[in-house]
Structure 1
Amino acid sequence: MLLYFIGDMPTEIMTTKGDASVDNRALNLWRIDNFDTNATLVNFFKYSFIAINRANAVIKKMPGTDIDSKLKDQYLGEAYFLRAYNYFCLSRNFGLVPMHYGVVETLSQTGTPLANNMDEIYDLMIDDCKKAEELLPVYAAPIMGRIDRVGAQALLAKIYLYAASAKANNVPLYKEMAKDVNSLYQDAMTYAGRALGLDPDYPQNTYGFESDLLKIYDVENFAGKENIFLMSMDRTGEAEGQYSKISKMFLPYIEGATIWIKQGDKDEYIKSHDGWGEYRTEMNFYNEFDGNDLRKKDLIVDKVYNEDGTVKAEWKPDGGDFEYPFCRKYIDPKFDGDKTSTRPFLIRFTDIAMVYAEAAGPTTKAYELINFIRHRAGLGDLTPGLPIDEFREKVYEERKFEMAFEGDRMYDIRRWGRIGEIKEVKDAGLNESQYSFYPLPQTEINLNPSLRE
C-alpha cells in the first residue's frame, strides 16, 4: 500500500480522511517537517534496498550454481530487472541515493555514499534492463508476479522517458544530466515500441490492449494481456502481505458491510465489502472528467446496491449515504473477510502505449495509440495535427485520467516539474528545493556515516 500513499496521496487526485494517521495526513498536506521520519517513506526506502540487496545476491551467486541454463538466465534476468526497478522507484522519490553494486553482507559494507549524480543511477538502471532483455524470454501468457523480456523493455522505456521529460522540464538533478534530451526521447520510443510489439525484430503477441475497461480490473483476469508486471497477491494467503487489503483502503464505510457494485451499463452486479475510507477521490479531480468518460462513469462509483439490484446507498454532491465517490479498480467479489486478491498494476500495456506516444510526439502511430485509449473510455479523437509540445501536454493529461489511483500520478507531476502547482504545496509555501524530492530518512542517515558527510 506504500505505492498509493507515495504515488497518489500527495497529488491532486487523492485525499484522505480527517482522522487518518499523522504520517498519512502529512503526505497528503505536504507537511515536510514530518517527511524525514515519516513511516511510509522510511519503509519505502528500507524495503527498496532490501530488494536491491536480494537482487545483488542473485546476480553474485547465480552464475556459479549448477541449475538448468534457461532457469539460470531467467533468475538472473529477473534480478537485473528488480534491481533496476527498485533504483527507479528510489531515484524518482528521493533523488540521489546510495549505490550498492554488490551484496551487503557485513555492517562495514553499509556506509555506501550517495551516487555522484543522476547519470550514475541511470547508467546502472539502463545497463540492468538491457541485460534483462537479453536474458529473459517472452512468455506465452502473462505470469502474475513475474516479468519477461517485454517487462524489461517496458521498464527501460519508462526510465528513458522519465529522464527525457525531467531534463526537458529542468527538474533538479535531471537538468544537470549529461545525456541528451532528444536521444533519451528516441530511446524511450524505441524500447516502448519493442514492448508494444511494433518492432519486427522483437515480436510479441502476449501483451496488448483490453477492449473493455472493466476487464482490465477484473481480479480474476490476472493473466490479462494488459498486465506486463502485476504484483502477486492471493486471498488464500495466511500472512498479511500474501493477501491484499487494497480494496478496504479505497472503499468508504457503508453500514451493512456487504454491497454490490454495478458493472458499467449492464444489469449485472458484483459483490464487495465496504472499507475504511483511507484513499479518497479528490472532488476537483472528479469534476475534471469529461461527462462521457467511462473511466469516471464505470470506474468511480457513486451508488451501491443490494443483491437484488435495489439501491443500498449513494453519494451526492450535497450529501448522501457515503462521503465520496470511490475508485473501483480494486474489487474482489470472492473476498474472505478483509483478505482479497486485489493487486497493484506495476506496469500496464496502456501505460507503455502512452510512454511511446509522449516520446514519439504526434506521429501516426502515436495518435493511433492515444485514440484507442480515448475511444475505449468513450471519448472522441484527440485533436489532429498538434505541435509536438501540445501533443505531449495532451498525453500528460490523458495519463492523469487513465492511470488514476494506480500509484503513478506523483511521478508524472514530478518529471514535468509541476509539483509546485499542487494546491497543498502552494498552501504550505514550499520552494523547489523543498518539494522536488523526499528527504532521505533520518534513520538511514544515522546508520550510514557517508550520508552525514
Structure 2
Amino acid sequence: MKTLFRAVICGVLCLAVSSCDKSISEFLDKAPGVDVTESTIFSSKVQLETFIAGTYRIGLHSIFTYNDANLIPTSRTYCINAPITDEAECEVTFMHPEQWNAGNVTSATTLVANEDYRYFIRWTAIRDCNIILERLKDVPNLDDTYKNQVIGEVKFIRALNYAEMLKRYGGVPIIDKRFQLTDNFQVKRNTIEDVVNFIVKDCDDAVAKLPATYTSNFRGRITKTAAQMLKSRTLLYAASPLFNTATPYMSLGEDNKLICYGNQDNSRWQLAADAAKAALDLAPAGNFSLITDKGVDKNYKYAWEQNDNAEIVLAEKTYPSRARTQFPWYGQQPVSIINAWGGVSVIHNFVRKYEKKDGTPQTWPGGTDLMQKYAELDPRFAQTVGYNGSYYDKDVPLLETFQGGRHAADCDGGAWLKKLLPDALSASSGAVPNGIVFRLAEAYLNYAEALNEAQGPVPAAYDAVNTIRQRSGMPKLPTGLTKEQFRDRVRNERDIELAFEDHRLYDIRRWKIAENDGVMQGPFYGLKITKITGSTDFKYEPYVFETRTFLPRMYLHPFLNTEVYKGYLVQNPGY
C-alpha cells in the first residue's frame, strides 16, 4: 500500500534527485528570499514533517540494498550480504561479498567492499536527529502528544544507527548533540558498555513516548514495539560471546573495552531475554502478530512477501513499485532469467540446515532421488529457495538448474534465491519492496536464545521457538535437551526463519563461529544436478565449488584509513 508517509518520503527524494541535475550556477542564481533555511524547517509542523521524512529516508535501512548513486553517492552497492556467509554465493565476482570470501577486508578498501556502504550516511542521520531534538521546541503550535512522538521517532533512529555501527565496529564515538564550528570534531571511540547503554537509553525513551500504533495511512512510522525490538536486538548482541567476554577475539591492549566488555556476565543474557519478552508483550497493542492463517506452506512466505502484514513491526518505505530492471531487484536475479547484475545462488551448506517435515535431519549422500529429498524438507525451504523443478515467477514457472538446464549457468549452489522476490514481480509488472527492518518472529527467537543462555532450556524458551516452528508445520523440539543442545537447535531455527534477512553475518560473528569449517571459511558446497533420462527425478552430487578464507580480525569491520589517519580513532585489531 502506498501510504501517505511513503508519499512524503518520495516527495523528498524527488526534490533531492532533481537538485542533482542542476548546475552550481543554477543554485547561485536564486531569487531573493526563497532559500530553505533551518529556520524554515522549524517554522511549522508541515515543514518539520518533511524533515522527519528525510531523516527516515537516510536513517532507516532494510534488508535490501539500493543503487542510490544519484541521491547519496556513498550508498551504492549491488548485492545483499548473504553470499558473505554460508547462505549463498554471488553469481558474479565483482560483488562485495567476494572480498570477504577471499579474506580481503582491509582498512584501505572502500566502504562498499567492506559491506558498510552507509557508514557516512549514518552520521548524517544522527546529526539530523540531534538537530530535531534541539529545535523541536521552536516549532509553533505543537501539542505535547505530537512532540513526544517526534522525540521517540528520532531517538529510535539515532539508536538504530548506533546499533548498526555497534555490530560492525564495536565501540564508536557517541555524538548526542549538534556540533558547532567551534566544537572539537575529533571525538574518540566510546566503550562497548557506553554505546550499549546509550542505545538502550534512547530505546527506553522512545518506548515511553511513542504510540502503540498509528492510523493506516501512517503505517511505516516507528511504534513502541519497534523501539522495544531494537532494545532486544541490541542487548542480545551485547550478551553474546563476541562482546560479553573478558578476553576479546584479538587484543587491543589498553583499549580492549572498545571491542568487548572486559568481563563475562551471564546476567546480560537475562536482560536480553527480558527485553525480547517486553517486545512480545507490547505487540498486541500495536496490532502485530505472527502470520498463522495462510496455511503451513504459505504463512512464512506471506510474512516476508506481503507489505504491511501483521508480522512486520517496521519496514523501510522509501520506494514505490520497482520494475524488475530496477534496484533492489536488479542485483538479485540470475543473468539466465534477466540480463541483470547477477543473482544469488543458495548453496548446499545452507540447504543442509533444513530438517525433514518430521523434525529429523535430512541426509545428502548423493543419489538419484533429488526431488524426493526436496519434497521431504521443512515447508519453509520451498518458500525460500528457487530449486530445480520449482516455480520461480510467472515468467519462469519451472526452474531448471540441472546441468545444461536453462537456468544452470553460474549456479554454483544448484539453486537460486527466491525469498525477497515477490511473485508479483515479472517482466510486465513491478512490485513494492517489503523492506523489513523488524519482523515479530525475531523477538520470539531472541527470547528463546537469551532465556536458554540465562536459565537453560526452560519451558518458556521451548514455547517461544516452538511457536515459530509450528506455524510452518514443523513439530515441537524434543524435550529433555541440554543447554548446549537447545542452543544448537535455536541457532539453526534462527538460520532458517531469518534466512536472507541480513542476520546471518552478524549472528556468525557475535557467536564467534566464523572460523568453523563451512561457516565463513573452508569448503563450500553446491549440488551438481543431472537429468535422468526417462525419469522425473534427478541425480545429485555434492561438490566443493569454493574454499573461503576468514581472518580473525574480520570479527569486526575496520575503520577506513582515511578516518584513522586523522588521529582520533583507534583502529580495530589486525588492520
TM-score (normalizing by structure 2):
0.66
Alignment-derived partner of residue 204 in structure 1: 285
Gap change, CA 1:46 and 1:214, over 3 Å in 2: same
Measured after TM superposition, the shift of residue 338 of structure 1 is: 9.3
Cα contact 2:384–2:417 (8 A) shared by 1: yes
Task: Write out per-residue CA displacement over residues 75-121 of structure 1, whole angstroms, 9 at most, x where no aligned residue.
Answer: 11011111111111111111222221212353854322111x21111
Gap change, CA 1:101 and 1:339, over 3 Å in 2: farther
Measured after TM superposition, the shift of residue 168 of structure 1 is: 5.0
Alignment-derived partner of residue 506 in structure 2: 411
Question: How much identity, in percent, do the aligned residues show?
Answer: 22
Q: Which has the larger radius of gyration?
A: 2
Gap change, CA 1:73 and 1:40, over 3 Å in 2: farther
214, 217, 220: which one pairs with 2:304? 217
Cα distance in 2 for residues equivalent to 1:308 and 1:231: 26
Measured after TM superposition, the shift of residue 44 of structure 1 is: 2.4
Cα contact 2:232–2:446 (8 A) shared by 1: yes
1:88 aligns with 2:163: yes
Measured after TM superposition, the shift of residue 178 of structure 1 is: 6.2
User: What amino acid is aligned across from residue 85 of structure 2 in structure 1?
Assistant: T
Alignment-derived partner of residue 54 in structure 1: 128
87, 93, 98: which one pairs with 1:25? 98
Gap change, CA 1:379 and 1:50, over 3 Å in 2: same
Alignment-derived partner of residue 335 in structure 2: 253
1:164 aligns with 2:278: no
Cα distance in 2 for residues equivalent to 1:277 and 1:329: 15
Cα contact 1:246–1:330 (8 A) shared by 2: no
Measured after TM superposition, the shift of residue 298 of structure 1 is: 2.3
1:327 aligns with 2:417: yes
Cα distance in 1 for residues equivalent to 2:182 and 2:398: 57
SS for the counterpart of 1:342 is coil
Cα contact 2:393–2:425 (8 A) shared by 1: no
Task: Write out per-residue CA displacement over residues 109-140 of structure 1, whole angstroms, 9 at most, x where no aligned residue.
Answer: 4322111x211111111111111111111005
370, 379, 382: which one pairs with 2:474? 379
TM-score (normalizing by structure 1):
0.82
Cα distance in 2 for residues equivalent to 1:351 and 1:137: 21
Measured after TM superposition, the shift of residue 331 of structure 1 is: 2.6
Alignment-derived partner of residue 262 in structure 1: none
Alignment-derived partner of residue 355 in structure 1: 446
Gap change, CA 1:306 and 1:208, over 3 Å in 2: closer
Cα distance in 1 for residues equivalent to 2:386 and 2:182: 50
- Report how many residues are paired: 423
1:400 aligns with 2:474: no
Unaligned runs of 5+ in 2: 1-63, 67-77, 250-255, 293-298, 356-375, 523-546
Cα distance in 2 for residues equivalent to 1:122 and 1:26: 29
User: What amino acid is aligned across from residue 442 of structure 1 in structure 2?
Assistant: N
SS for the counterpart of 2:461 is helix
| Structure whose residues are more often helix by fraction | 1
Measured after TM superposition, the shift of residue 203 of structure 1 is: 6.0
Alignment-derived partner of residue 525 in structure 2: none
Cα distance in 2 for residues equivalent to 1:286 and 1:45: 32
Correspondence 1:26-425 to 2 at 5 A: 26-33=99-106, 36-41=109-114, 43-66=117-140, 67-106=142-181, 109-115=184-190, 117-139=191-213, 144-166=219-241, 167-168=243-244, 172=249, 176-177=260-261, 181-197=265-281, 204=285, 206-211=287-292, 212-218=299-305, 221-236=306-321, 245-255=327-337, 257=338, 275-290=340-355, 291-302=376-387, 303=389, 311-316=397-402, 318-322=403-407, 323=411, 324-332=414-422, 333=424, 340-361=431-452, 362-421=457-516, 423=518, 424-425=520-521
User: What amino acid is aligned across from residue 451 of structure 2 in structure 1?
Assistant: A
User: What amino acid is aligned across from residue 144 of structure 2 in structure 1?
Assistant: S
User: What amino acid is aligned across from residue 315 of structure 1 in structure 2?
Assistant: T
Gap change, CA 1:75 and 1:352, over 3 Å in 2: same
Worse overlay, 44-53 or 416-425: 416-425
- Tell me: higher relative CO, structure 1 or 2? Use CA pairs within 8 A at least 6 residues apart: 1
Gap change, CA 1:99 and 1:2, over 3 Å in 2: farther
Cα contact 1:80–1:128 (8 A) shared by 2: yes
Measured after TM superposition, the shift of residue 283 of structure 1 is: 2.7
Cα distance in 1 for residues equivalent to 2:393 and 2:510: 45
Task: Write out per-residue CA displacement over residues 308-329 of structure 1, whole angstroms, 9 at most, x where no aligned residue.
Answer: 899554223x452212422222
Measured after TM superposition, the shift of residue 342 of structure 1 is: 1.3
Cα distance in 1 for residues equivalent to 2:87 and 2:212: 35
Task: Write out per-residue CA displacement over residues 372-430 of structure 1, whole angstroms, 9 at most, x where no aligned residue.
Answer: 21223332211212223322222111111111111110111111111222545456665
Gap change, CA 1:370 and 1:329, over 3 Å in 2: same
Unaligned runs of 5+ in 1: 258-273
Gap change, CA 1:311 and 1:209, over 3 Å in 2: closer
